Amino acid sequence: MALTKTQFGYRRHPDQDRAGADIAEHAVVVVGAGPIGLSLAIDLAQRGQSVVLLDDADRIGEGSRAICFSKRSLEFWDRLGIGQRMVDKGVVWSVGKIFHGESQLYQFNLLPEEGHKRPAFINLQQFYAEAYLVDRVEELPAIDLRWRNKVTGLEPRNDGVVLTIQTPDSAYRLAAQYVVACDGARSSLRQMVGAEFAGQVFEDQFLIADVKMTAAFPTERWFWFDPPFHAGRSALLHKQPDDIWRIDLQLNRFSDPAVEKLPENVRPRIARMLGHDKFEFEWISLYKFQCRRMGKFIHGRVIFAGDAAHQVSPFGARGANSGLEDAENLAWKLDRVLRGTSPEPLLDSYHIERSAAADENIRESTRSTDFMAPNSHQEARLRKAVLSLAKETEFGKRMVNGGRLSTPSIYETPLSTADGDSWDGGPRPGASMPDAPVAGQGGEPIYLTDAFIAAGTGFTLLEFSNGAAAERPDGLGTIRIGGQGGLSDAAGLAARRYDAEPGTAYLLRPDGYVAARFRHPTRAALDAALARAAGHI
């Protein structure tokens, strides 16, 4: 922690000196400087927007909290210029093992193939991720980050929102065309717009302990059903940087949180698990699973993202990662609407795409939760049968649910152009772009995700060369594979992962999702797909 800045000062802003009706007007105000708000602000700023970012605290939150950041999140952070720093500090992993009692049931590899710039996951304490994001924010003059600025009032207008903000000095007001609420699961902006946050709270309690110790366990995710050290319940062990280990223990439904949280009660449990007590506590927290979402992510000119909009149980790394997917989904759309290059209804696709993703995440994490803590005698009996069959059968192993880990959703969206050609693989419209290793003109090895960043922040055409380049609309970025001046795909992995033949072209959205694909694109087809993806149809 020593080298990481986590405490920040309040500074009075000239906006606070404006009196009466003469209030400052801003294009975008983002509320909440957590990983989602910070990432969104950076993405918007890199697209040329000025962003006011408000946070009610003056420091980065304590405790590791979110620790698993997905490949997709790292690819997003690469576009924000901080992916490498996260990976350098993080613990890279892709293998998980599931145990039942004393014995290993099976192991899985989340990224079994080579040729991807980023690993399946890194583990990194949330405070590091936030600190690195704040460092990046400080490099971008277009972001005005105001600590100890707490939103206490919200007045909707037809063309914007007026916020009342409390500071250590006094309250002030400012107007914004759009407000994005990234203020977490207990979002106060959600209450201010009067929105419901409906869903399910699970009865079972879980204990998180981050302990510091040196240990030779491999950097894998280990999950136990009914381990010898914690009979009848489940447990999880995961490595973080700085010799910190995340331990999750399922408790019984009726445990008293205040008692369970006491270090003298946590210590013997963990000592039983590790077989020794040479560890120190970094952080202890107790929680119940909650799966909830807002009915609508957009309320007039207030847009909700991350935990403010949806909350899932943590087994599966779907919290922070899905919030980051919200941010990358929203940033380019909001930028285009503010510039007037897309009509306002483009934002509706944010709700359509990300609320469906939230439903998927809630469904998956509810299933994992139910598997870990069966709700009825019969459900427990079925689980017992699956765990028992998993020892000897492949189908049993595949039915054991120790947390299905987050993968990007495939969007069913009005922005996609349906396939007209025949495909035998590759990402379909609405899916995120797979990575692949390629080589630049000088033979230097790069990845497709690097080429995507180099192609600019707008829509990009990924084309597999076939003679002359297709005639294309203006302003479209290009990634050309093969041919004169193109990237070389010597191993053929790019072609394989995109089911590409000479002439194949993918139209990629600014967030790296496929909008359309063609065996041989025509100018008219590209124009139509681009118009659709930009919300003009």
Q: Which residues here bind another protein, judged by CB under 8 A?
A: 364, 367, 370-371, 376-379, 382, 385-386, 388-389, 392-399, 401, 404
Q: What span, in angstroms and rounded, lies between the C-alpha atoms of 106 and 143?
A: 47
**3-class secondary structure, 173:** strand
Contact predicate 86/77, CB 8 Å: yes
d(CA 245, CA 238): 6
Closer CB to another protein, 69 or 289, in the complex: 289
- Which of 399, 528 has the CB closer to another protein? 399
Determine the 3-state secondary structure of 140 from DSSP. Answer: coil
The least CB distance from residue 234 to another protein, in Å, is 17
Q: Give min distance, CB of 377 to another protein, in A.
A: 6
DSSP three-state, residue 145: strand
Count other Cβ atoms within 10 Å, centred on residue 276.
11
Considering the complex, state which of residue 401 and residue 432 has its C-beta at the smaller distance from another protein.
Answer: 401
Compute the least distance from the CB of residue 386 to another protein, in Å: 7
Q: Whole-number minimum distance, CB 375 to another protein, in Å?
A: 8
Shortest CB 109 distance to another protein, Å: 16
Q: Which is nearer to another protein, 101 or 257 (CB)?
A: 101
Cα–Cα separations (whole angstroms), residue 483 to 76, 275, 467: 29, 60, 7
Comparison of 171 and 382: residue with beta carbon closer to another protein:
382
The tokens of 222 are what?
A: 């280990």
Separation CA 114–CA 116 (nearest Å): 6
Residue 67 CB, shortest distance to another protein, in Å, is: 24
Based on CB atoms, which residue is closest to another protein, 84 or 104?
104
Give the HSE-up count for residue 19: Cα atoms under 13 Å, Cβ half-sphere.
0
Residue 186 or 398 with smaller CB distance to another protein: 398
Query: Are 502 and 465 spatial neighbours (Cβ–Cβ below 8 Å)?
Result: yes
> Least distance (Å) from another protein to the CB of residue 200?
14
In angstroms, the Cα distances linking 110 to 356, 442, 499 are 23, 32, 22
Residue 165's DSSP bridge partners are 151, 172
Q: Identify which of residues 118 and 397 has a Cβ nearer to another protein in the complex.
A: 397
Shortest reach from residue 44's CB to another protein, in Å: 36
Long-range contacts of the stretch 498-504 (C-beta < 8 A, 24+): 498/426, 498/427, 498/434, 498/436, 498/462, 498/464, 499/423, 499/424, 499/425, 499/426, 500/426, 500/464, 501/464, 502/464, 502/465, 502/466, 503/463, 503/464, 503/466, 504/463, 504/464
